[in-house]
Amino acid sequence: LDPRYLVLGNLLTQPATPTNIAAAQAIVSGVAMPYANFSGTIAQMLRPFPQYSGVTDVYGDVARSNYHSLQLTVEKRRSDDGLTVSLNYTFSRTTDNLAARTGYNFDQDWSVGANDQPHVWNAMVVYNVPFGADGRPGSGNTVVRAMVKDWQISGITQFRSGRPLGSIGAACNLPNAGTCYADFNPSFTGAVRINGDYGDGDVLGANPPSYIDRNAFQSPAAFTYGNTPRALAFDLRNPNSFNQDLSVRRDFHVSHVKLGLGVDVFNLFNTVVLGNIQTNITNANFGRVSSQSNTPRVGQIKVRLEF
């Protein structure tokens, strides 16, 4: 439904009788029966295809996105002991209008994208253990050389900013006209983030804490879309993520064949990143964390044969 018809208010939910159509025409010019014997509501009558309950544009070219970043990398490789260290940092901003309150105005919801992570740090280390190689410590002893030669240890540490919280949902009264987000509460003062950092308190208890003050928002008036942005209201974001992976590998050389045996551990310290924060103010769990958004620690044994 074209938003310009929202001024009809409660008439939108009324049947398209001559009396109701005349009342609508007094408010918005051009309102008319789409075809003979139409029997739906005023709202349905004013839709582009009133004979259908809904129309989906599968391949519509209606949205756009933009990504800008500053990327810095520092890397050091030492051939004498097989050590490689790499540090990189990305500062970025993603904006888009991939979701909209109404299909008549996608640019209204041009905002920070749902995948925006302004700060990303990566630190990577690869160490080819030099012991046991020719001329290196341990190379003169057959037993020691057999134990310490051809080991490789590598690891990566990652830090990522939390993604923006999604739209703040609310109770909507928009017949066939899209969806709404919450309004900012004009009388609200103070901090919108409450009860400490995400994860503080008894998250798994019978009454887990809410980390967002519901009083900062309110449902919009009937037939309006709400004035909070599609993402990042009050600069609210999901928790930051921090992760470490470790890999240990050893190669065995037999003639022209190399056999690699190793162990990989992902999320080495079993760090928990909380997520799935409820953002609909009509939900009793608003502002609460309901799940873990990353994968628990996982280990694997690997075998690689090169020939």
| Each residue's pLDDT tens digit, 68-113 | 999 999 999 987 778 999 999 999 999 999 888 998 989 999 999 9
Distances (CA, A) of 55 to 64, 86, 153, 181, 214: 21, 51, 56, 22, 35
Kindly state the average pLDDT of the residues 153-162.
97
Q: Supply the pLDDT for residue 140.
A: 62
Task: Report the DSSP beta bridge partners of residue 153.
Answer: 127, 248
Q: Which residue has the higher pLDDT, 1 or 119?
A: 119
Distance between CA atoms of 240 and 238, rounded to whole angstroms? Answer: 7
In 3D space, the residue among 290, 295, 200 whose CA is nearest the CA of residue 244 turns out to be: 295
Residue 67: enclosing H or E segment and its boundaries? strand 65-78
Can you tell me which residue has the tokens 């209204």? 108
Kindly state the average pLDDT of the residues 148-155.
87
Residue type, 288: R
Could you tell me the sign of the dihedral formed by the alpha carbons of 209, 212, 216, 219, in that order?
Answer: negative
The SS3 assignment for 118 reads coil
Q: Supply the pLDDT for residue 302.
A: 94
Collect all residues with Cβ–Cβ distance below 8 Å to 73 and sequence separation of at least 6.
Answer: 86, 87, 88
Q: Supply the pLDDT for residue 136.
A: 60
Collect all residues with Cβ–Cβ distance below 8 Å to 144 and sequence separation of at least 6.
Answer: 131, 132, 138
pLDDT tens, residue by residue, 197-250? 999 999 888 899 999 999 999 999 999 999 999 999 999 999 999 999 999 999
56-65, 190-199, 222-231: range with lowest mean pLDDT: 56-65
Residue 106 main-chain phi, psi, to 5 deg: -65, -35
Contact 151, 248 (CB under 8 A): yes
36-45, 142-151, 284-293: range with lowest mean pLDDT: 142-151
Q: Supply the pLDDT for residue 205.
A: 84
Q: Which long-range contacts (CB under 8 A, 24 or more apart) does 141-144 make?
A: none
Q: Supply the pLDDT for residue 55.
A: 85
Percentage of residues in the chain having pLDDT higher than 70? 95
Residue 13 main-chain phi, psi, to 5 deg: -90, 0
Percentage of residues in the chain having pLDDT higher than 90? 73
Contact 151, 129 (CB under 8 A): yes
Distances (CA, A) of 269 to 74, 242, 296: 26, 10, 9
Distance between CA atoms of 223 and 10, rounded to whole angstroms? Answer: 9
Q: Supply the pLDDT for residue 141.
A: 66
Q: Supply the pLDDT for residue 137.
A: 59
Q: HSE (CB half, 13 Å, CA atoms) of 53?
A: 0
To the nearest whole number, what is the mean pLDDT of the chain?
A: 91
